[in-house]
Amino acid sequence: MKSSDTVHRRRMRLGVTAAAAITALTAGLIGAVSANAASEGCEVEYQVTGQWSGGFNANVQVTNLGDPVNHWDLEWTWADDQAVTHMWNAKDKSKAATAKASGQGHNGALATGGTTSFGFSGSWSDANTDPTDFRLNGRLCDGTVSEPQQPMTAIEQVAAMQPGWNVGNSLDAFGGDTGGETAWGNPPITEELLQTIKAEGYNSIRLPVAWDYEHTGPGPDYTISSERMERVAQVVDWAIANDLQVLVNIHDQMFTKELPDDRENVLAKFNSMWTQIAERFKDYPSELSFESINEPQFPTDTANQDAHTATLNVNFYETVRATGGKNADRLLVLPTWVTNSEQPHLDALKATIDELDDDMIAATVHFYGFYPFGVNVAGVTTYDEETRQDLENTFQRTNDTFVDNGVPVIVGEWGVLGYDYTRGAVPNSPQYGELLKFFQATTHQAVEEQLTLMLWDAGSYLNRHTLEWRDPLLKAYMDSGFTTLSGTASFDSIYLEKAGTIADESLTLNRNGLDFEGLWQGDTALTEGTDYTVSGDTVTLTAAALTRLAGDRAYGTNATIEARFSDGLPWQIHIISYDTAQISDLTGTLDGAPWSQWWACNSSCFAIPTEFNGDQIATMEAKYADGTNAGPHTWTAFKELWATYRPDYDAGTISLTPDFFNEVRDDEPVTLTFHFWGGGTIEYIVTKTGTTVTGTNA
């Protein structure tokens, strides 16, 4: 190499033969995922303008040979561990061995034949070989121009969005002490967040947006603030630049609820908002799609809820299409009433779509599983047959109504209603292994029925402060369902009473078409015949093996073993030692909690001191002395976790909430029966007199 005091100049014009074709799932901004045909091509001139020991300067000129692009990213890889240290006239988005420059406001768009330049300083050590492959928005810059691709159909575009992720509780947040985007506990959306989502295997995001409240002015214009519009545009730009499709909606339901009683004003506001949104984004590529309204609902006229939903959907459709540009054939997504998937509501939306007679329309529903399972109520604590049938029936009828008739479906939100990282009982609602089964089965069933899933994540799955998954194992089961249905077992825990004699314990395998390959503890295989036996789908761990695994039998998990199969993820089985829990008598008062106490107990809950002794609560029953059900959800004796009772294993308490006592009659004892995963039950009697509560062991 040249010495440090010698100016080193070299010029290189890139004209490399194209590599493998870019697929629909990995294409760039105007790549194979685009529903609008576009020609693509580019060339790059790379020039090292100065070099010294350990560093150099370079200039890069980019020429767009294809159709105009609204935003560009240029990527290249280093051969000798060079790195960009500073960049000008472009935004540096480099990572490790991959360098990436992104256009800025003044040079972010490139017309056909348009050229722009940027420079950077870099570092090198042993060598400084020139890069050879540059890619503009994912397309190899080899000096050629590709022929326009055929537009994607709605079915193809929605399929390319699988899987998707909701940026929940961010741009849909409002109010609060901090206001706006951070009001509900999440940090502001960053490009790094979206890059993380892409790297984790997601191909699209749903961007819920609250346009109303402090962001929209009064009628008759209902002007959306420029700050809100440009913030949404910034996030959309980041997503598209990082190969994510984007679904933007109006997430405000409050003003549209008034449609039955104030039709003229509601539609004036709704249409004005969509006109402004559509005009702002009319020239965006087809990677951006629009969703009419989130979960439309009309409490004052439930008899005509499907008709009111159709009114909003048709107004949305006609308003957006009328703005022209790329909105003329952009994918538009229409919901059922409250995104419900019952057959009458599916049929009503199908009728609307048939009347519109447009090939670029998709339907959307939401799915949070069988309600008693999702919130742990009515004693449904496992992924049982009723929960499985609910999943399969919901997805099958949605497929039969839409997909089989050429209309793609986006499940715009899915998950488990009771899964919330702020709750100390999660993942205890329902039992953890049963959650894993549900998440895997949902993704698997979506693939079977050709539905695109978008996980609702308000911060419970991906920690947006650290950009790490809160529960990597649950994420792995979600991912597994898209490709391989991993094997499981009837339960994920074996409970051994600490003071009891250890006996053989059996589990039933759910092979899911796979071969069982044995039990392991870490890297050590357990010995069949000595540590366990297999008879059909029944695996029995011997008393000797369980005694060894339990060790000193301290309370809680003593060991974790794995059932391994011929494919997919191994199934974890936890060996747990426990004793019967001990609940203390207590007299206390309630503070007359406000409505918000469903999410925060503070001093308004009746917190019963409890020694859990390694066990955990599965569910709780509540009955009066005459056998009738007490508390909320009077149709069942089994109460809803967190809404009515909250175990805190670290603090050693079981808290009964104001919502529970608000539905309990004064001076009438209520017998609570706590069911534990170890198999035991404890009865406890509570009596409310005004704001005073007494609790005693039965």
436 with 568: CB under 8 angstroms?
A: no
pLDDT value at residue 341: 98
**Is beta strand 332-335 parallel, antiparallel or unpaired with respect to 361-367?**
parallel
- 413 as an active site residue: the answer is yes
Question: Which residues, 6+ apart, have CB-to-CB distance to 205 below 8 Å?
Answer: 164, 165, 166, 167, 194, 197, 239, 244, 245, 246, 247, 454
pLDDT value at residue 71: 83
Question: Which residues, 6+ apart, have CB-to-CB distance to 283 below 8 Å?
Answer: 70, 325, 326
> Residues 469, 335, 330, 24: what is their CA dihedral angle, to the nearest 10 degrees?
40
Neighbours of 567 (CB within 10 A): 16
pLDDT value at residue 253: 82
pLDDT value at residue 23: 28
Q: Which of 40, 43, 291, 295 is catalytic?
A: 295
Structure tokens at 235: 């996030």
Q: Which of 40, 181, 413, 434 is catalytic?
A: 413
Query: DSSP string spanning 381-442?
Result: -S--HHHHHHHHHHHHHHHHHTGGGT--EEEEEES-TT--TTSTTTT-SS-HHHHHHHHHHH
pLDDT value at residue 663: 95
**Is beta strand 134-136 parallel, antiparallel or unpaired with respect to 73-77?**
antiparallel
> Cα(273)–Cα(263) distance, rounded to whole angstroms?
15
- Please give the single-letter amino acid code of residue 507: L
CA-based diameter of the chain, in Å?
97
- Please give the single-letter amino acid code of residue 484: T
Structure tokens at 383: 């992924």
Positive or negative, the CA dihedral 173, 176, 179, 182 is: negative
Query: DSSP string spanning 176-239?
Result: TTT-GGGTTSPPPP-HHHHHHHHHTT--EEEE----SGGGB--TTT-PBPHHHHHHHHHHHHHH
Length of the chain: 698
pLDDT tens by residue, 52-93: 999 999 999 999 999 998 888 899 988 888 999 999 999 998
Read off the pTM.
Answer: 0.81
Residues of the chain with pLDDT under 50: 1-36, 593-598
DSSP 269: H
First to last CA, the chain: 86
Helix (H) or strand (E) holding 164: strand 164-166
Structure tokens at 431: 């039992």
